[in-house]
Amino acid sequence: MQRRNFLKSAVLGSTAVMAGFPFADSEAAVPKLKITKVRYYNAPGYNKPLFNQARGIVEIETDGGIIGIGEGGSKDTIEQCAQMIIGQNPFRIEHIWQNLYRGMFYPPGREKLHAQGALDMALWDIKGKALGVPVYELLGGATRDYVECYATGFRASKAKTEEERARDCIEAGLRAYRIGPTGGNGDVAFDFYDNAKKTIEFCKRIDAAVGGGGKWAVDLHTRFDTTEGLKICKALEETEPYFVEDIVRSENPDVYKTLRPMTTVPIAVGEQFGDRWDINPLIEQHLIDYTRVTLPNTGGISEMKKIASMCETHYVGMIPHFTGPLATATLVHVLGSSSPTRCLMELGGGEPERPAYFNEDLVNFKNGKLYLNPEPGLGVKFDPKKATFVMEVASNTQFPHPILKSPDGAIHNW
């Protein structure tokens, strides 16, 4: 008995020394901390050129001096969420997530989920830093040595044709090269029939260029109606692409009940979706082969891990949409500690972004693959002097919403 107590105290003591914080008592496993401030910054040079994807940087500060960082949200959504977490214990990550999700009368829309995802990232970063371990260790430890990547465009190539760029991409070690449909740019009217035909021809040229074998994929960008989308899929079945993405618009996921039985191409959907309730019908009914849900859009690391479990249960792969540089670094922790479900990460231009406000080595990228970062927390350092300060929240809302709890303290909808 004495030996067991000694070993327990030794383990807890070593963790305390490693984290650099005293424990309130010998039984505590983590230091006692409170959230004191939340700051929000704009990412310099990012002006949402293609889609309304926020790229703000969030800092959550604690009374112990540990600061966690996240990415996503807008000023208004971050401000509302931040006012709900001041004074909270940052280690109660799931509890905070549930309060943010259920703590107002209306369920959060996808914009608020984006902010919640940024804050959730920062909370996991705090916990990893406090315990001196990388986030993937907190999520169960590494399940793979690296995460394969595919390229949307390939900046490193000096080639003048898309076929040559695709070949260069594969030779550089990336798993696949993704292309988009023809048309849809500028003020030229989009002819569905003509662009469906040209897209099929384009895909076949890329397939020949890379030698087949699923070394390419196509995103139809929700541009086509069911008739043309299905026509493209049927024509591409013999080429066996890695996946065909967003065949039709995303407002009505039930359309895949019609599409799925009519084509054998691997289907990927979800980059415009949010939490698990958004994507669940497509996963549960086996209407897709890959989810494209991503960070911070789902609501954060906490939610992404739950979606990963859903995917494992239904044999669906994960191919998260790329968003920002910190989200990319965070996804490596999530996918690198998830089940052996097939997964792939998207890199715009074929390489990770390395903005000046983050450390140069925020990700470990070699030969087309992303490797786990063993540094504490997310392993990313943020320099606020190189970003644009927007606001700081240091107090709770003046108009708190009632919180409904069960007798055991769990949060319920009000």
Instruction: Quick: pLDDT tens for 249-264.
Output: 989 999 999 999 999 9
Q: Among residues 122, 155, 127, which one has the least CA distance to residue 376? A: 127
Q: Are 250 and 269 in contact (CB under 8 A)?
A: yes
Instruction: Quick: pLDDT tens for 222-240.
Output: 999 999 999 999 999 999 9
- Amino acid 189 reads A
Residue 9 pLDDT > 50, yes or no? no
**Half-sphere exposure at residue 384, Cβ-oriented, CA atoms within 13 angstroms:** 14
Question: Mean pLDDT over residues 303-330, rounded?
Answer: 96
Ramachandran sector of residue 149 (left: φ over 0; alpha: ψ -120 to 50; beta: rest): beta
Question: ∠ at Cα 335 (284, 62), nearest 5°?
Answer: 110
For residues 171 and 412, the model is more confident at 171
Residue 44 pLDDT > 70, yes or no? yes
For residues 34 and 5, the model is more confident at 34
pLDDT value at position 402? 76
- Amino acid 301 reads I
Question: Mean pLDDT over residues 174-191, rounded?
Answer: 88
Question: Could you state, in order of their start, the residue ranges of all structural domains in the chain?
Answer: 16-132+384-412, 137-371
Residue 26 pLDDT > 70, yes or no? no
- Amino acid 404 reads L
| Lowest model confidence (mean pLDDT) among 21-30, 77-86, 323-332 | 21-30
pLDDT value at position 329? 98
Instruction: Quick: pLDDT tens for 101-111.
Output: 998 888 889 99
| Lowest model confidence (mean pLDDT) among 7-11, 12-16, 105-109, 304-308 | 7-11
Inter-CA distances, 327 with 81, 120, 320, Å: 19, 11, 10
pLDDT class of 50 with cuts at 50, 70, 90 = low
Instruction: Quick: pLDDT tens for 265-279.
Output: 999 999 999 999 999
Round the CA-based radius of gyration of the chain to a whole number and report it. Answer: 23
Question: Mean pLDDT over residues 186-212, rounded?
Answer: 93
**Half-sphere exposure at residue 63, Cβ-oriented, CA atoms within 13 angstroms:** 12
pLDDT class of 47 with cuts at 50, 70, 90 = low
Residue 397 pLDDT > 80, yes or no? no
Query: Model's pTM, two decimal places?
Result: 0.91
Q: What is the CATH code for 137-371?
A: 3.20.20.120
Inter-CA distances, 179 with 241, 300, 348, Å: 11, 28, 11
For residues 329 and 340, the model is more confident at 329
pLDDT class of 155 with cuts at 50, 70, 90 = very high
pLDDT value at position 177? 98
Q: Among residues 339, 335, 275, which one has the least CA distance to residue 307? A: 275
Question: Mean pLDDT over residues 377-405, rounded?
Answer: 90
pLDDT value at position 401? 74
Question: Mean pLDDT over residues 10-37, rounded?
Answer: 57
Q: What is the mean pLDDT of the chain?
A: 90
CATH 3.30.390.10 fits 16-132+384-412, yes or no: yes
Q: How far apart are CA 414 and CA 403, in angstroms?
A: 6
User: Which residues, other chains included, contact 231 with Cβ-Cβ below 8 Å and sequence gap of 6+?
Assistant: 196, 200
Instruction: Quick: pLDDT tens for 331-352.
Output: 999 999 998 789 999 999 999 9
